[in-house]
Each structure stands twice: as structure tokens, then as C-alpha cells.
Amino acid sequence: MLNNYLDIQPEIKQAIADSKPIVALESTIISHGMPWPKNVETALAVEESVRKTGAIPATIAILHGKCKIGLSKNELEYFGQEKNVWKVSLRDMPYVIANKLPGATTVAATMRIANMAGIKIFATGGIGGVHRNAQHTMDISADLTEMSETNVAVVSAGVKSILDIGLTLEYLETMGIPVVTFGQDEFPSFYSSKSGFNSPLRIDDEKSIAQMCKTKWGLGLKGSILIANPLPTDKEVSPETIEIIIKNALAEAYKNNIKGKEVTPFLLKYIAQNSKGESLEANIELILNNATLAGKIAAAM
């Protein structure tokens, strides 16, 4: 199960050996998803939220030619500040690891590395998905294909409306990935608990989610389960406000000919800079919220 490319923190190694609950956390959100110093503060607070549930946090990144599971405070600080950190999805892993470059892992790469160590639950803010206008650009995140391959459940606040939420739900269905919303009928859209789309499934307690994960993998059905965790309504940003900012962000990306892996970081940065901090606060709240739910599911498993 453990291979030469893994470097696992002793506490996490012990937790794996003892079958203790562990929650994987990604690092692209730190390096490319949020501005410093909020990114590092949030990464530390997320780890603390996981610990409060009794689970052990495992933040994942690439350093010195290894997949690191568990980062020190100094390493979190490094990924939060350093400018030349790679955003590493699956296709970037061989190059970045072979050349011993620093890499922050996306949902896809984090899932794959978590799975190498046998970690089954992963918390993030928002997953990548099918982009708006994907019928022309074919911009579909490798997060989705990875979710059809790898047995790690993902807790997110639904799908961000920089993406086409309807097409993303269709793609998840095609790839056989169950989508469960925690505690409500409607699928959430990251900054808002609403999206206008019904959730394919609703579950109201962590134990039943854990049971569903076990059943899926017990049946030999490979891949993830997307657990959508709505942001508490008092923390929401109004969809109208966000939609205007997103439209401008998309226009700006188009104008600047932003393509490939740069698209998502460009849009996230634009939104953070143009929403007077409101979106960033919601973003932090929802990640903490997701870390807590993931910790409870990991404990129930």
C-alpha cells in the first residue's frame, strides 16, 4: 500500500496503522485558491476543525520528489507564500515529482495520493467541474474523471458557479458518481445553499453517509461519492452579487486568453479581489464547515 514516493508524517502513519479516522486536505486551495495570509490561517484552522471531531488532518502536497501526507506549519507557510509552486493535477504529477519541484495538489491529485495511503475521506471547498461554455472549450476538470476512478469520498460545498452546475451534475451522473447533499433537498452552489438544481440524493446524518460509502466500495463500485455540504444561510453571499462578479471574471479571462490550468486560479483570484472580502469570508466558513463534516463521517466509518 505504501510506496517509495510517499512521505507520511509519523502521527498520520500511526493513525493509518491504528485505523483511526483521518481526513485528507488539499493544498492548491492554499497556494492558488486564496490570498496570503488568509490562506495559511485557514489551512491551520481547517486542520483544527478536523481535530475537534476526533479525526486527524492530513494536508497533502508535493515536495522534494515525494508526495507528502501531513505538512508542518513551516511547510504550510511555504506553500502559502512561495510564488513558484506548481498547481499539480494528475497530469503534472510525474514531471513535478521527477524534477523535485514544489507542487500544491488539486482535488484530483490529492485524492489519488490519499488513496495510496488508504485515506478514504477528503474535505475541500469546491471541486473542479464542467466549465461554462465547455461545449466549445472542452474545459472539464480532471477532478471529475478522478472521482470516477478513485475510492475517496469528497466533501465540498457543492459546485462553484464559475462552473456550469447543470452540466457538472450531468457529468457526475454519467461517470457513476453518487451526489449526496447533507441535510437539504437542493444542491448547493458554494457561496449559496441554493443552486436551482435538485440534489440527486439527500442524507441528514453522518452515519448514513459513512454507510453509503462502505456499501459503494463493498460492492466493488470504484470511485468517489460527492458529499455536498451547504454553507449555513447566515454566511451566504447573494447569488446576484456573485453572478455579476463571475460574468466579469469570465469576460476578463476570455480577453486575456487564459487557458488550461490557469483558468480556475484566474477566476478565483478575480472573485476574491472584486467582492470586497465577502466571498473570501464565506469561502473560509464553508471550508471549516466541510472539514467538520468530513471529520464526523471519517469517525463514523
Active-site residue numbers?
26, 160
Task: Scan for cell 481526513, then name that residue.
Answer: 23
Nearer to Mn ion, 77 or 139 (CB): 139
Q: Is the peptide bond before 37 cis (omega within 30 degrees of 0)?
A: yes
Contact status, residue 39 vs residue 47, Cβ threshold 8 Å = no
Nearer to Mn ion, 25 or 107 (CB): 107
Residue 225: name the closest of 209, 204, 207 by CA.
209
List the one residue from 70, 125, 188, 223 that touches ligand PSU (CB under 6 A).
125
Continuous segment of H or E residues that includes residue 150: none
**Is there binding between residue 139 and Mn ion (CB under 5 A)?**
yes
DSSP 120: -
Contact status, residue 30 vs residue 90, Cβ threshold 8 Å = no
Q: What is the C-alpha to C-alpha distance for residues 244 and 95, in angstroms, rounded to an integer?
A: 38
End-to-end Cα, the chain, rounded Å: 20
Residue 231 φ then ψ, to 5°: -65, 135
**Is there binding between residue 290 and ligand PSU (CB under 6 A)?**
no
Residues 245-264 that bind Mn ion (CB under 5 A): none
Instruction: Please say whether the dihedral angle defined by the alpha carbons of residues 264, 270, 271 and 273, taken in this order, is positive or negative.
Output: positive
The distance of closest approach from Cβ of residue 272 to ligand PSU in the complex, given in angstroms and rounded to an integer, is 10
Nearer to ligand PSU, 30 or 180 (CB): 30
The distance of closest approach from Cβ of residue 141 to ligand PSU in the complex, given in angstroms and rounded to an integer, is 3
Residues 65-124 that bind ligand PSU (CB under 6 A): 89, 106-107
Diameter of the chain measured on Cα atoms: 53
Residue window 194-233: x/- pattern of binding to Mn ion, with contact defined by CB under 5 A = ----------------------------------------
Q: What is the C-alpha to C-alpha distance for residues 156 and 128, in angstroms, rounded to an integer?
A: 10
Residue window 160-179: x/- pattern of binding to ligand PSU, with contact defined by CB under 6 A = x-------------------
Residues 7-66 that bind ligand PSU (CB under 6 A): 26, 28-29, 33
The distance of closest approach from Cβ of residue 109 to ligand PSU in the complex, given in angstroms and rounded to an integer, is 8
Note the residues at the interface with ligand PSU (CB under 6 A): 26, 28-29, 33, 89, 106-107, 125-128, 141-143, 160, 261, 264, 268
Note the residues at the interface with Mn ion (CB under 5 A): 139
